[in-house]
Structure 1
Amino acid sequence: MTGADPDDLAAGMLLVAAPTLLDGNFSGTVVLLLDVNADGALGVVLNRPGTLPVGHVLEAWREVVSEPAVLFEGGPVEQQGALAVTLLRGPWSAGEESAQPGFREVVGRLGLLDLDTPVELVAGAIGRLRVFAGYAGWGRGQLQREVTEGSWYVVPALAEDVFLADEDHLVDLPRRVLARQPGDLAQHSTRPLDPELN
Protein backbone atom coordinates (compact mmCIF):
# COMPACT_ATOMS: atom_id res chain seq x y z
CA MET A 1 0.00 0.00 0.00
CA THR A 2 1.46 3.33 -1.03
CA GLY A 3 -1.08 5.33 0.94
CA ALA A 4 -1.73 7.67 -2.00
CA ASP A 5 -4.26 5.74 -4.07
CA PRO A 6 -7.56 7.51 -4.79
CA ASP A 7 -9.18 4.07 -5.19
CA ASP A 8 -8.68 3.55 -1.44
CA LEU A 9 -11.01 6.43 -0.59
CA ALA A 10 -14.00 5.10 1.36
CA ALA A 11 -15.97 5.83 4.49
CA GLY A 12 -14.02 4.70 7.53
CA MET A 13 -10.58 5.40 6.03
CA LEU A 14 -8.17 8.03 7.32
CA LEU A 15 -6.55 10.86 5.44
CA VAL A 16 -3.16 11.80 6.88
CA ALA A 17 -1.87 15.15 5.65
CA ALA A 18 1.42 14.85 3.78
CA PRO A 19 4.18 17.31 4.75
CA THR A 20 3.62 19.10 1.42
CA LEU A 21 0.02 19.99 2.37
CA LEU A 22 0.42 23.53 3.66
CA ASP A 23 -3.26 24.57 3.78
CA GLY A 24 -3.72 25.87 7.35
CA ASN A 25 -7.07 24.09 7.61
CA PHE A 26 -5.42 20.70 7.16
CA SER A 27 -1.67 20.92 7.76
CA GLY A 28 -0.66 18.24 10.29
CA THR A 29 -4.13 16.71 10.46
CA VAL A 30 -5.71 13.28 10.37
CA VAL A 31 -9.22 13.20 8.88
CA LEU A 32 -11.74 10.39 9.34
CA LEU A 33 -13.78 9.96 6.15
CA LEU A 34 -17.48 9.65 6.98
CA ASP A 35 -18.93 9.59 3.48
CA VAL A 36 -17.43 9.19 0.01
CA ASN A 37 -19.58 9.09 -3.10
CA ALA A 38 -19.72 10.36 -6.69
CA ASP A 39 -20.64 13.85 -5.49
CA GLY A 40 -17.68 14.28 -3.16
CA ALA A 41 -16.48 13.40 0.33
CA LEU A 42 -17.04 14.44 3.93
CA GLY A 43 -14.95 13.87 7.03
CA VAL A 44 -13.84 15.28 10.37
CA VAL A 45 -10.41 16.30 11.63
CA LEU A 46 -9.54 14.00 14.55
CA ASN A 47 -6.59 15.77 16.16
CA ARG A 48 -7.77 19.32 16.87
CA PRO A 49 -9.48 19.44 20.25
CA GLY A 50 -11.09 22.78 21.03
CA THR A 51 -11.52 24.38 24.45
CA LEU A 52 -15.31 24.61 24.71
CA PRO A 53 -16.78 21.79 26.85
CA VAL A 54 -19.50 19.82 25.07
CA GLY A 55 -21.72 20.24 28.14
CA HIS A 56 -21.80 24.01 27.64
CA VAL A 57 -23.53 23.71 24.28
CA LEU A 58 -25.06 20.22 24.37
CA GLU A 59 -26.01 19.77 28.02
CA ALA A 60 -27.86 16.50 27.43
CA TRP A 61 -24.69 14.80 26.13
CA ARG A 62 -22.41 15.92 28.99
CA GLU A 63 -22.34 12.51 30.69
CA VAL A 64 -22.02 10.47 27.49
CA VAL A 65 -19.21 12.22 25.58
CA SER A 66 -15.72 10.71 25.74
CA GLU A 67 -12.70 12.50 27.21
CA PRO A 68 -11.51 15.06 26.46
CA ALA A 69 -15.12 16.25 26.71
CA VAL A 70 -14.67 19.27 24.44
CA LEU A 71 -15.90 20.18 20.99
CA PHE A 72 -13.29 19.15 18.44
CA GLU A 73 -12.61 21.35 15.41
CA GLY A 74 -13.95 19.04 12.73
CA GLY A 75 -13.15 21.24 9.76
CA PRO A 76 -13.77 24.56 8.06
CA VAL A 77 -17.30 23.83 6.78
CA GLU A 78 -20.40 24.77 8.83
CA GLN A 79 -18.48 25.37 12.05
CA GLN A 80 -21.66 26.41 13.85
CA GLY A 81 -23.05 22.90 13.40
CA ALA A 82 -22.09 19.72 15.24
CA LEU A 83 -21.46 16.16 14.11
CA ALA A 84 -21.25 13.30 16.59
CA VAL A 85 -19.14 10.24 15.83
CA THR A 86 -19.84 7.23 18.01
CA LEU A 87 -18.64 3.70 18.53
CA LEU A 88 -21.46 1.46 19.65
CA ARG A 89 -20.91 -1.08 22.36
CA GLY A 90 -20.45 -4.58 20.95
CA PRO A 91 -20.54 -7.25 19.92
CA TRP A 92 -23.49 -6.86 17.57
CA SER A 93 -25.01 -9.22 15.08
CA ALA A 94 -25.06 -8.17 11.42
CA GLY A 95 -27.47 -5.32 10.78
CA GLU A 96 -28.16 -4.64 14.45
CA GLU A 97 -26.24 -1.34 14.45
CA SER A 98 -28.62 0.22 11.94
CA ALA A 99 -31.52 -0.54 14.30
CA GLN A 100 -30.11 1.84 16.93
CA PRO A 101 -32.13 5.08 17.04
CA GLY A 102 -30.34 8.02 15.44
CA PHE A 103 -27.34 5.92 14.34
CA ARG A 104 -26.01 5.86 10.77
CA GLU A 105 -23.27 3.33 10.16
CA VAL A 106 -19.98 4.49 8.66
CA VAL A 107 -18.20 1.17 9.06
CA GLY A 108 -19.15 -1.60 11.49
CA ARG A 109 -19.97 -0.20 14.95
CA LEU A 110 -18.50 3.21 14.05
CA GLY A 111 -20.98 5.77 12.81
CA LEU A 112 -22.70 9.11 13.07
CA LEU A 113 -25.21 9.80 15.83
CA ASP A 114 -28.04 12.30 15.39
CA LEU A 115 -27.73 14.66 18.37
CA ASP A 116 -31.48 15.30 18.23
CA THR A 117 -32.01 11.71 19.38
CA PRO A 118 -33.10 11.56 23.04
CA VAL A 119 -30.02 10.61 25.08
CA GLU A 120 -31.95 8.06 27.13
CA LEU A 121 -32.71 6.07 23.95
CA VAL A 122 -29.05 5.61 23.03
CA ALA A 123 -26.90 6.09 26.14
CA GLY A 124 -26.74 2.36 26.87
CA ALA A 125 -25.60 1.57 23.33
CA ILE A 126 -22.81 4.17 23.18
CA GLY A 127 -19.32 2.91 23.83
CA ARG A 128 -17.57 6.15 22.89
CA LEU A 129 -18.75 9.50 21.57
CA ARG A 130 -16.96 12.53 20.17
CA VAL A 131 -18.57 15.78 18.99
CA PHE A 132 -17.09 17.88 16.19
CA ALA A 133 -17.85 21.51 15.34
CA GLY A 134 -17.81 21.72 11.56
CA TYR A 135 -16.48 19.23 9.05
CA ALA A 136 -14.18 18.87 6.06
CA GLY A 137 -15.83 18.63 2.66
CA TRP A 138 -14.67 18.06 -0.91
CA GLY A 139 -16.62 18.43 -4.15
CA ARG A 140 -16.82 15.90 -6.97
CA GLY A 141 -13.33 14.60 -7.82
CA GLN A 142 -11.56 17.16 -5.59
CA LEU A 143 -10.27 14.74 -2.95
CA GLN A 144 -9.23 12.19 -5.58
CA ARG A 145 -7.12 14.92 -7.23
CA GLU A 146 -5.54 15.91 -3.91
CA VAL A 147 -4.62 12.29 -3.18
CA THR A 148 -3.17 11.81 -6.68
CA GLU A 149 -1.11 14.99 -6.19
CA GLY A 150 0.34 13.52 -2.98
CA SER A 151 -1.36 15.84 -0.47
CA TRP A 152 -2.85 12.97 1.55
CA TYR A 153 -1.96 9.43 2.59
CA VAL A 154 -5.03 7.16 2.67
CA VAL A 155 -4.87 4.46 5.37
CA PRO A 156 -7.24 2.28 7.42
CA ALA A 157 -8.64 3.70 10.66
CA LEU A 158 -8.67 2.13 14.10
CA ALA A 159 -11.19 3.09 16.78
CA GLU A 160 -8.32 4.29 18.99
CA ASP A 161 -7.44 6.89 16.32
CA VAL A 162 -10.91 8.40 16.56
CA PHE A 163 -11.22 8.44 20.33
CA LEU A 164 -7.73 9.21 21.66
CA ALA A 165 -7.99 11.00 25.00
CA ASP A 166 -4.37 12.01 25.62
CA GLU A 167 -3.54 15.45 24.18
CA ASP A 168 0.08 14.54 23.46
CA HIS A 169 -1.08 11.52 21.48
CA LEU A 170 -3.56 13.70 19.59
CA VAL A 171 -0.77 16.06 18.53
CA ASP A 172 1.33 13.09 17.46
CA LEU A 173 -1.55 11.25 15.72
CA PRO A 174 -0.25 11.65 12.14
CA ARG A 175 3.08 10.04 13.06
CA ARG A 176 1.42 7.29 15.12
CA VAL A 177 -0.92 6.36 12.27
CA LEU A 178 1.83 6.31 9.63
CA ALA A 179 4.27 4.39 11.84
CA ARG A 180 1.99 1.34 11.93
CA GLN A 181 1.58 1.17 8.14
CA PRO A 182 3.37 -1.47 6.08
CA GLY A 183 6.32 -0.85 3.77
CA ASP A 184 7.57 2.54 2.71
CA LEU A 185 4.62 4.40 4.19
CA ALA A 186 5.95 3.92 7.74
CA GLN A 187 9.08 5.86 6.76
CA HIS A 188 6.96 8.98 6.27
CA SER A 189 6.30 8.98 10.03
CA THR A 190 9.91 10.02 10.64
CA ARG A 191 9.86 13.01 8.30
CA PRO A 192 9.82 16.46 9.89
CA LEU A 193 6.54 18.35 9.73
CA ASP A 194 8.31 21.15 7.87
CA PRO A 195 9.42 19.69 4.51
CA GLU A 196 12.20 22.29 4.31
CA LEU A 197 13.86 20.50 7.24
CA ASN A 198 13.78 17.15 5.43
Structure 2
Amino acid sequence: MDILRQKKDIAQGGFLDDQFLIAMPGMQDENFARAVIYVCAHSEEGAMGIVINRVQPLRFPDLLVQLGVVDEKQAIRLPAPARDLLVRNGGPVDRSRGFVLHSDDYIVDSSLPVSEDICLTATIDILRAISKGSGPRHALMALGYAGWGAGQLEREIVDNGWLTCPASQDMLFDGDIDRKYERLLMSLGIDMAHLSPYAGHA
Protein backbone atom coordinates (compact mmCIF):
# COMPACT_ATOMS: atom_id res chain seq x y z
CA MET A 1 0.00 0.00 0.00
CA ASP A 2 1.49 3.34 -1.06
CA ILE A 3 0.68 5.56 1.93
CA LEU A 4 2.34 8.65 0.42
CA ARG A 5 0.23 8.35 -2.73
CA GLN A 6 -2.85 7.84 -0.58
CA LYS A 7 -2.13 11.04 1.35
CA LYS A 8 -1.60 12.95 -1.90
CA ASP A 9 -4.98 11.72 -3.19
CA ILE A 10 -6.69 12.87 0.02
CA ALA A 11 -4.97 16.25 -0.11
CA GLN A 12 -6.25 16.67 -3.68
CA GLY A 13 -9.86 16.11 -2.66
CA GLY A 14 -10.56 12.39 -2.78
CA PHE A 15 -13.58 11.51 -0.64
CA LEU A 16 -13.64 8.62 1.81
CA ASP A 17 -17.27 7.44 1.96
CA ASP A 18 -17.40 3.67 2.63
CA GLN A 19 -13.79 3.58 3.85
CA PHE A 20 -12.18 2.69 7.16
CA LEU A 21 -10.07 5.17 9.09
CA ILE A 22 -7.46 3.43 11.26
CA ALA A 23 -5.84 5.54 13.98
CA MET A 24 -2.06 5.76 13.81
CA PRO A 25 -0.07 4.92 16.98
CA GLY A 26 0.67 8.58 17.65
CA MET A 27 -3.02 9.58 17.86
CA GLN A 28 -3.17 12.15 20.68
CA ASP A 29 -6.96 12.31 21.06
CA GLU A 30 -8.00 9.61 23.56
CA ASN A 31 -11.41 9.43 21.89
CA PHE A 32 -9.70 7.90 18.86
CA ALA A 33 -6.67 5.99 20.18
CA ARG A 34 -6.60 2.60 18.37
CA ALA A 35 -9.96 3.46 16.79
CA VAL A 36 -11.39 2.00 13.61
CA ILE A 37 -13.97 4.33 12.07
CA TYR A 38 -16.36 3.65 9.22
CA VAL A 39 -16.80 6.83 7.16
CA CYS A 40 -20.49 7.40 6.41
CA ALA A 41 -20.24 10.78 4.70
CA HIS A 42 -17.37 12.92 3.43
CA SER A 43 -17.54 16.06 1.34
CA GLU A 44 -15.98 19.50 1.10
CA GLU A 45 -18.16 20.51 4.07
CA GLY A 46 -16.68 17.88 6.41
CA ALA A 47 -17.00 14.22 7.38
CA MET A 48 -19.01 11.94 9.65
CA GLY A 49 -18.21 8.40 10.75
CA ILE A 50 -18.94 5.71 13.33
CA VAL A 51 -16.30 4.15 15.61
CA ILE A 52 -16.87 0.40 15.18
CA ASN A 53 -14.41 -1.18 17.64
CA ARG A 54 -15.58 0.21 21.00
CA VAL A 55 -18.48 -1.25 22.95
CA GLN A 56 -20.86 0.48 25.36
CA PRO A 57 -21.70 -1.25 28.67
CA LEU A 58 -25.37 -0.72 27.77
CA ARG A 59 -27.04 -3.86 26.40
CA PHE A 60 -29.26 -3.56 23.32
CA PRO A 61 -32.34 -5.07 25.05
CA ASP A 62 -31.93 -2.52 27.88
CA LEU A 63 -31.68 0.28 25.33
CA LEU A 64 -34.92 -0.89 23.70
CA VAL A 65 -36.63 -0.80 27.11
CA GLN A 66 -35.27 2.71 27.83
CA LEU A 67 -36.61 3.94 24.48
CA GLY A 68 -40.00 2.30 25.00
CA VAL A 69 -39.64 0.05 21.96
CA VAL A 70 -40.34 -3.03 24.13
CA ASP A 71 -41.22 -3.62 27.76
CA GLU A 72 -39.11 -5.71 30.14
CA LYS A 73 -41.09 -8.89 29.50
CA GLN A 74 -40.71 -8.49 25.75
CA ALA A 75 -36.99 -7.79 26.15
CA ILE A 76 -36.47 -11.28 27.58
CA ARG A 77 -38.08 -12.85 24.51
CA LEU A 78 -36.17 -10.95 21.81
CA PRO A 79 -34.86 -12.97 18.86
CA ALA A 80 -31.21 -13.96 19.26
CA PRO A 81 -29.80 -11.41 16.74
CA ALA A 82 -31.45 -8.58 18.71
CA ARG A 83 -30.60 -10.00 22.12
CA ASP A 84 -26.93 -10.37 21.17
CA LEU A 85 -26.52 -7.08 19.28
CA LEU A 86 -23.77 -5.00 20.87
CA VAL A 87 -24.12 -1.25 21.31
CA ARG A 88 -20.97 0.53 20.13
CA ASN A 89 -19.51 3.80 21.33
CA GLY A 90 -19.80 5.51 17.97
CA GLY A 91 -17.85 8.65 18.84
CA PRO A 92 -17.73 11.74 21.04
CA VAL A 93 -20.44 13.76 19.24
CA ASP A 94 -24.12 13.53 20.27
CA ARG A 95 -23.61 10.44 22.44
CA SER A 96 -27.32 10.09 23.22
CA ARG A 97 -28.26 9.70 19.55
CA GLY A 98 -28.46 6.24 18.00
CA PHE A 99 -27.28 5.15 14.56
CA VAL A 100 -27.58 1.81 12.81
CA LEU A 101 -25.22 0.82 10.01
CA HIS A 102 -26.78 -2.06 8.12
CA SER A 103 -26.99 -4.14 4.98
CA ASP A 104 -29.29 -2.86 2.23
CA ASP A 105 -31.88 -5.64 2.59
CA TYR A 106 -33.71 -3.26 4.96
CA ILE A 107 -34.48 0.28 3.76
CA VAL A 108 -36.98 2.87 4.98
CA ASP A 109 -37.54 6.43 3.80
CA SER A 110 -35.04 7.77 6.34
CA SER A 111 -32.25 5.33 5.38
CA LEU A 112 -29.21 6.98 3.81
CA PRO A 113 -27.22 4.86 1.35
CA VAL A 114 -23.48 4.99 2.14
CA SER A 115 -22.40 2.52 -0.53
CA GLU A 116 -24.02 0.03 -2.91
CA ASP A 117 -24.74 -2.37 -0.04
CA ILE A 118 -24.45 -0.37 3.22
CA CYS A 119 -27.02 2.08 4.62
CA LEU A 120 -27.27 4.31 7.69
CA THR A 121 -30.57 4.67 9.53
CA ALA A 122 -31.05 6.86 12.60
CA THR A 123 -34.75 6.44 13.35
CA ILE A 124 -36.49 4.21 15.87
CA ASP A 125 -38.25 2.24 13.10
CA ILE A 126 -35.19 0.10 12.49
CA LEU A 127 -34.89 -0.70 16.21
CA ARG A 128 -38.48 -1.93 16.21
CA ALA A 129 -37.77 -4.06 13.15
CA ILE A 130 -34.66 -5.59 14.74
CA SER A 131 -36.60 -6.31 17.94
CA LYS A 132 -39.20 -8.24 15.90
CA GLY A 133 -36.65 -10.16 13.86
CA SER A 134 -37.59 -8.33 10.66
CA GLY A 135 -34.60 -6.00 10.49
CA PRO A 136 -31.56 -6.16 8.23
CA ARG A 137 -29.44 -9.31 7.91
CA HIS A 138 -26.38 -7.40 9.16
CA ALA A 139 -26.56 -4.47 11.59
CA LEU A 140 -24.27 -2.44 13.82
CA MET A 141 -25.80 -0.19 16.49
CA ALA A 142 -23.91 2.82 17.87
CA LEU A 143 -24.54 5.76 20.17
CA GLY A 144 -22.74 8.92 19.11
CA TYR A 145 -20.55 9.60 16.10
CA ALA A 146 -17.27 11.16 15.01
CA GLY A 147 -17.40 14.42 13.09
CA TRP A 148 -14.95 16.70 11.29
CA GLY A 149 -15.33 20.20 9.92
CA ALA A 150 -14.39 21.29 6.40
CA GLY A 151 -10.85 20.17 5.59
CA GLN A 152 -10.18 18.86 9.11
CA LEU A 153 -10.03 15.14 8.29
CA GLU A 154 -7.87 15.79 5.24
CA ARG A 155 -5.37 17.69 7.42
CA GLU A 156 -5.32 14.91 10.03
CA ILE A 157 -4.57 12.30 7.35
CA VAL A 158 -1.79 14.37 5.80
CA ASP A 159 -0.37 14.90 9.31
CA ASN A 160 -0.16 11.11 9.78
CA GLY A 161 -3.18 10.78 12.09
CA TRP A 162 -5.01 8.11 10.09
CA LEU A 163 -4.55 5.28 7.64
CA THR A 164 -7.42 4.62 5.25
CA CYS A 165 -8.58 1.57 3.33
CA PRO A 166 -11.75 0.36 1.57
CA ALA A 167 -14.30 -1.12 3.97
CA SER A 168 -15.59 -4.67 3.71
CA GLN A 169 -18.88 -5.99 5.10
CA ASP A 170 -17.05 -8.84 6.82
CA MET A 171 -14.79 -6.53 8.78
CA LEU A 172 -17.57 -4.01 9.43
CA PHE A 173 -20.11 -6.44 10.88
CA ASP A 174 -18.11 -9.30 12.39
CA GLY A 175 -18.24 -9.76 16.16
CA ASP A 176 -14.50 -9.89 16.88
CA ILE A 177 -14.42 -6.30 18.10
CA ASP A 178 -11.46 -6.45 20.50
CA ARG A 179 -9.03 -7.49 17.77
CA LYS A 180 -10.50 -5.47 14.91
CA TYR A 181 -7.75 -2.82 15.00
CA GLU A 182 -4.90 -5.35 14.80
CA ARG A 183 -6.71 -7.55 12.28
CA LEU A 184 -7.36 -4.62 9.97
CA LEU A 185 -3.71 -3.57 10.06
CA MET A 186 -2.64 -7.17 9.41
CA SER A 187 -5.04 -7.40 6.46
CA LEU A 188 -3.20 -4.42 4.97
CA GLY A 189 0.15 -6.12 5.51
CA ILE A 190 1.16 -3.59 8.17
CA ASP A 191 3.27 -4.49 11.19
CA MET A 192 2.47 -2.29 14.21
CA ALA A 193 6.17 -2.25 15.11
CA HIS A 194 6.98 -0.53 11.80
CA LEU A 195 4.35 2.21 12.04
CA SER A 196 5.85 5.56 12.92
CA PRO A 197 3.72 7.91 15.01
CA TYR A 198 5.41 10.89 13.36
CA ALA A 199 4.69 12.53 10.04
CA GLY A 200 7.43 12.45 7.45
CA HIS A 201 8.35 15.46 5.35
CA ALA A 202 10.17 15.25 2.06
| TM band (smaller chain) | 0.7 to 0.9
Change (3 A) 1:113 1:8: same
Larger Rg: 2
Q: How far apart in 1 are the matches of 2:129 and 2:53?
A: 29
Query: Hey, which bits of structure 1, 4+ residues long, moved more than 3 A?
Result: 59-68, 99-102, 118-125, 192-195
Displacement after TM superposition at 1:171 (Å): 2.1
Take 1:174 and 1:57, find their aligned partners in 2: how far apart are those partners? 26
**Is contact 1:88-1:110 (8 Å) kept?**
yes
**Contact kept in structure 1, 2:88 and 2:143, CA below 8 Å:** yes
Establish whether residue 86 from structure 1 lines up as the match of residue 102 from structure 2: yes
Runs (5+) with no aligned partner, structure 2 = 71-77, 198-202
Normalising by structure 1, we get a TM-score of 0.78
Q: Which moved more, 1:121-130 or 1:77-86?
A: 121-130
Q: Structure 1 193/131 Cα, relative in aligned 2: closer, same or farther at 3 Å?
A: farther
Question: Residue 165 of structure 1: which of 175, 182, 191 is its match?
Answer: 175
Distance change in 2, residues 1:67/1:33 (3 Å): farther
Q: Which residue of 2 aligns with 1:190?
A: 192
Percent identical residues: 23
Q: 1:87 to 1:164 in 2, by over 3 A?
A: same
Q: Which has the higher strand share?
A: 1
Which residue of structure 2 lines up, in the alignment, with residue 93 of structure 1?
A: none
- Structure 1 gaps of 5+ residues are 90-96
The within-5 A match list for 1:1-198 is 1-3=1-3, 4-5=6-7, 6=10, 7-59=13-65, 60=69, 63=79, 68-89=84-105, 100-117=108-125, 119-120=128-129, 124=134, 126-166=136-176, 170-181=177-188, 186-187=189-190, 189-191=191-193
Count residues with an aligned counterpart. 180
Root-mean-square deviation (Å): 2.9
Q: TM-score, normalised by structure 2?
A: 0.76
Q: CA deviation at 1:128?
A: 1.3
